[in-house]
Structure 1
Amino acid sequence: MERRQQAVHRTIVIVDVEAFTDQRRTTPHQLVVREALYDALSQGFEVAGAPWSECHHEDRGDGVFVLAPAHIPKAPFIEVLPNALAAGLTQHNIAHPAEQRIRLRMALHAGEIVYDDHGATAESVNFTFRLLEAAPLRTALARSEGVLAVIVSKWFFDEVVRHSGEIDPATFRPARVLVKGTSAVGWIWLPDHRYPADLTYLASSRGRTEPELRQLPAAPRSFTGRAEELAVLTSVLEAAAEQSTTIVISAIFGTGGVGKTWLALHWAYQHLDLFPDGQLFVDLRGFAPEGQPLSPSAVVQGFLDTFGVDPARVPAELEAQAALYRSILADKRMLIVLDNARDTKQVIPLLPASPGCAVVITSRDRLAGLVAAHGARTIPVDVFSAAEAREMLVTRLGAARLNAEPEAVGELLSCCGGFPLALSIVAGRAEAHRDFPLAVLAAELRDETTRLGALDEGDPAASLPAVLSWSYAALSDDQAKIFELLGMAPGVDIDLTAAAVLTNLPAGRVSAELQALERASLIHQHVPGRWRMHDLIKLYADGQAERRHDQAAQDDALHRFVDFYVHTAHAADLLLDPDSQSIDLPAPHEGCSPRVMRNPQDALSWFNAEHLNLISVQQAALERRWFSSVWHLAWGMHAYHWWQGHIHSDVAVWETALTAVERLGEPLPLTLAHQMLIQAYSRQGDHGKALEHGRQALAGVDDVSVVYRAPVHHAAAHMWARQGELAKALDHAIQAMTFYREANRPIREAWALTMVASFAIKLGQNARGESACEEALALFREHAYPVGEAAVLNTLGELAFANGDYAEALAQFEDTLTLRRELGTTYASADTLDNIARTHVALGDKDKARESWLDALRLYQSQLRNDESSRVQKQLDLLDGS
């Protein structure tokens, strides 16, 4: 059973050898060092009146942890022990080579100690180790000509050192201790190479329990999250403390209402003890309702007044004012918080030169000039993560209230999008109406057209629209125009080419303005070359667009934008599927220049980046009744959806397209939409809906030309095959082949032949299947069409498998997989992996079968192909059970 003793207040001494593990110290050297260290310690403790045998000590390899007996006074451990240690180590070093010489760090503290079966334990012990690891102590020893550097805790300094009649407290220097979350002040002493006596340091802290200058506003209430940003701020402080440099933390930057000031204040209050001379704070009003930022001269004069400088002594020129300000700060350790800065020019005169000062600046601007000229560290502040946002509401409203209405809370979190000010406003309203269900608040935010109004409490400090308006007011005319149009644009993000089309401005000019908007924290370049705007900022920008631009101007911009996506998607689709059905597109809107792509890889990359935007643009076109654009966009995405297995997206965009073409009332688009929905629903496994669209497509097939009849039968063949009706599937495949041949579409004919081959093989008509494969392969190779060639190779694998030639089947399937992976056709690759697995089972190699089925399962699951996923999982279960 664990035993505990009553806590006893004891002196704690920890020492550590500098560079003990240096590679030049071999094991024999280290043994000599350790023996000499213990000799010096035991002799030093004896001289200090603390017999080594009565002390508790633990070996730490390169150091020693010691607890002195409780009855021994604490003063000798600073008045006697350090000098004795330094003398002993100096004698040792004179007599030994460099590899065996000792330079030592020592930490002194005192506190309550408890013992259990595992040894001594106490927070005071952990704290003493933090003192020993402080960067300023390492630096002090490295710069000293002596052999010992001592750091004592603030408690030890105030209670022991200050009252010593043997040593001079003025020869100690305060140091910041920032180690593993510990933030404190220690006092460093060099017993054999002392600092000059300086009463300035003592005067800054003697008899003071609180700073004299305390200008920080109240600490933020209910602060949550921001652990990473707080850690970065502290790490900058640690690095600067080690280098004895002025600390400038400029880029606590982010959009208005994101919580920059709260972050700065919360961090400041965590570290007040490091700045005993106080804190200065000023709201620079860089972005404020007054619209006029504070001038640097006004701020400096305010600071000088705070320091009690006679106004008659304040120079007229800013440069001279700043020099006087820096002179006053020269020997002080202060924190200066410059909140809401407009730009670099505003803050540079406010930077001190004292290595004891830290400067924290918040701004909506990145302050790039401050980073370049003064080495400032940038700390971007974004919206809360989902967990942080919920934590904020829990802190304000309590977990019970949130747990009682999970759906309403989910909607509130979604509508606020992690925006701290929005969450704070919602929490404030919920606190003011504790008897109101949270669902009431959620309902107010649900409608996008009224959401910003619901986040406006009539007070600028509690109004998201007001806070955003201050950033908006600071924009130039061109920046404001682009900001407004970006708010109108459908989609989740935008690249430079699309932005240039939307704004009808040269790309170079748009690029410069996008960078300016990003510096103002209104947009964010989340990946290279692509900019994103938070949903609430987007709503605000859209509202400004409606206010500033008439309907014709808005429609003109959006028409260019929609046409950009229509024509670019069509061009990309042709690169992925050069022989797809052709449709006629109207000329693009004036000012619209579609993106130019060189090869299928370019097309695939563009689709990957723009897929969600394309879906949003299609919805926007439907809302504006631009019905032709709606189905043209669905058409442009079809090959990409087929290649990548985006089955559910394909269904969604073609259902939207069907809504549009039904209103158009034109036979061809209607037939094409039903044809595409046959394929989409068949691949999704919804065979009932596939049949419904199949009937409607076949009913209208005589109303279109032969070139469009073939694809309807092509789709019908796939539909029946997926339902196991192979005879019907073969019949439609033959009709499709006949129509393609009549229309002189050789690649489409080859596709139909591939279907004929596959269905014939599954019906046991192997000779017919092999003949169709040969014809299809010849056509694909003649026209250099590798996508089709891969399909035929897969079918030849099926033929070899049906004939029992599993080795040949495996070779064909593996060639197919290689080609499909090179092409990026992940949908088809999943089916080939399934075939490879089946063939490995036939060959008796269960391990390889499992590997291939696992790869196929991952692809099927990512493509939401539930039927295929279930089938493969059953195969894996059978393998594991066999």
Structure 2
Amino acid sequence: MGMALSAVGTVASGALSGAGGEAGRRLSERLYDLLSRGRGGDNSGSADSGSTRPTLPVTGPERTAAARHLLELARSSPEFAREVTEWVREASWLSPRTVPAVAHGASRPRMLPPTTAVFTDRADVLAWLTALLDEEGRPPGAPAVAVLTGPGGIGKTAAAVHCATELRERFPDGVLFADLKGASAATALQPSDVLARFLERLGVPPAMVPGDEARQRDLYRDCTADRRIVVVLDNAHDDAQVVPLLPASPQCLVLVTSRHRPGRLVGEHGARPYPLGPLSAEDAVTLIRRVAGRDRPTAPDAVVRAVVDGTGGIPLALCTTGAGLAVRHQLTWERVAQQLSARNRGHDQGGTAVRAADGQGAADPVRLVQDAAYAELAPDRAAFYRAVAVWPWPTVTVLCAAHAAGVSEDAARGLLEELARAHLLEEAEEERYRFHDLTRAHAHALAETEDGHGRMAAAVRRVAVAHLRLAAGADFRVMPLRWRLGPAYRGLALPEHRDRADGKHALAELRAERENLAAVVRAAAHHGFDDLVWQLCEAMWSLHLLLGFHAQWIDTHLLGVEAARRGAQEFGDPRAVGRMWTQLAFGYMGAGRASAAADALAQARAADRGCGHHRGEATAVEALGLLRLKQWEFAAAQRCFEEAQEVLRRIGPGEDGWADVPRATALLAHHIGRAQTKQRQFPAAVARLNDALAQFRRLPGGGDTYNAGRVYMSLGDAHLDAGDAEQARVCLDEAVMAMTEAGAGLQLADAVEARARCHRLSGRPAEEAQDLRTAAARYEANEDRIGLTRVRTRLAELER
């Protein structure tokens, strides 16, 4: 019962999100067939009619009932027992998992950033952590949770990274690290985004990462249950951001840094807080001398101590001051001491002596140091510093910086390096930089004062336009044939001799910029650039459709809906409203929120019908049909697809979407054939699928080979469901050839694996083994470890 229930849960959970790809879809539809047994006699005729039709088991009781039905079916005959056993086994491989931590080839993440070469002191923190780990009587079954607290700039991140590095010998299964960006609620990362990143680094293929946070959290706990790892959660905004990221293993250490004292973490999870204070005078002198470097002429201890006093012993202030001394050889220790002293007294009329937030009247040492460093910048450097801080970008890239400041990329590259040397930026990875949030706040405040809202908004718009151009170009390369809206796509064309891997490379480019693209959407929405907001969402379609990240998908597209609505009221493109609702619906589907998806599609259809946009309305109705397919409502799905065809027929020559009608009609014919197959209307399904095949072959440019291959796959499914394994094999032979020609690696692996099943049903073990080996090679080449493990397991069973 436990195995059956787990299998049902895995397959049903992935049905809406599309987890598992084609293999997951087939397992879902085979579960439907199995649950139909015994409800309507021999399961012939339309299984989609009457009270006997099974429904997708979504709730706990529904899944329990489905598992019980499978067990009853298995007991009814040896043949059914074999089918159920095979289905449960295959479903178990669909469940995302990692290689056990102790196994050869296990995923041992090493996400910790490098320690700083000038790190000083904090031996007390390491000693405290070591004692915590060695403490007897710690709560059983829970990881050790330590929280370093203190104000910004006090060195929490550096201390956490240093301690995790020193302790990693005790945690051989890896280190997970995430900057939670919790300086404010607006910038704080959603736990779902962090969980998705952690799961991939723990070995879960991206396509197998669940869409909703609850399932991500469950899988994360499974993945960490037997591991000894360190999880560093830097810059947490609150306890709610941290709790979903706690691993399951009591052998783990969770190291949190935050400006806020933990409450729930202490009360419910046994966390131990440790407040960090300024460095001692001796350690502060050591640190600033290290940062300033040995090339700096020596200065009397009294002068160095005067500089240190001006920094308050705060590591960020010490490093910024020391970096200024290191890169500006004309700057003397004495001058720095005088600057800090004057600013502290408020005598420097050009400065902005900021008082501490605690109201005690003490000047903020970090701000004083930043003011001093800023005063040393040449005018063009100072303008650049302000420009790149107009929005809290997750990382500052060369592209982002160049357009924010209105300079060339070569100039931006050099200026970024200069700011990094002055410790006003830090290099996160090659040609990617980030601000300490206090430094960005300093630069942003200066931008508000010296540049004003107009210039800041102009900088944001330039960055948004540049990222829209980047995303649209990459999206076009990933999915060149899809229907799309927006002037950003005008003039885009593929090169005549295009590398087959170009689409894969473009998707990787989108993935690398994912967080920045989401930030650009928020920035554009904040400044009222509605035309750019919805176009950015449109340009992220292939990123989200193929890679998920559903929390971000939903957040950005909610902004896209509102931006499109406002734009439509102000002479913008009214078609964008329905487009945003439709794309938002797919985000909801991926997160398993079927009701929200259906509501969004109703909004999409109403918006498109209201502005007479037939192409958009057809897409919304088609999407509802796809949702119904996933929900096992096959007759309702067929009605949606047929209705979408009627809407397409309203598009006349030269009207919007006219050029896309042939491909869209062929896709709908394919969908209808699939829906008819699941209703066991086999002659009608085969006829409709062959019609779809002919339509794809007639498309301009030599036809659509990839989608023709998908239709052959569906024909194979139809013949298998009808019990004709030989005819299914003939169709799958064609699918293999089509996917080979299209260069679709994973789809080719899927087609070959499906053909292996035909050989198994027809009693041809040698041919089955050969296809399994071919499928394994394709899955391995495309880094699909779940598919690879699945076919290797079958192959091992066959070769016993």
Query: Please, what TM-score do these two structures have when normalized by structure 1?
Result: 0.44
Query: Please, what TM-score do these two structures have when normalized by structure 2?
Result: 0.49
Highest CA radius of gyration, 1 or 2? Answer: 1
Higher relative contact order, chain-length normalized (CA < 8 Å, sep 6+): 2
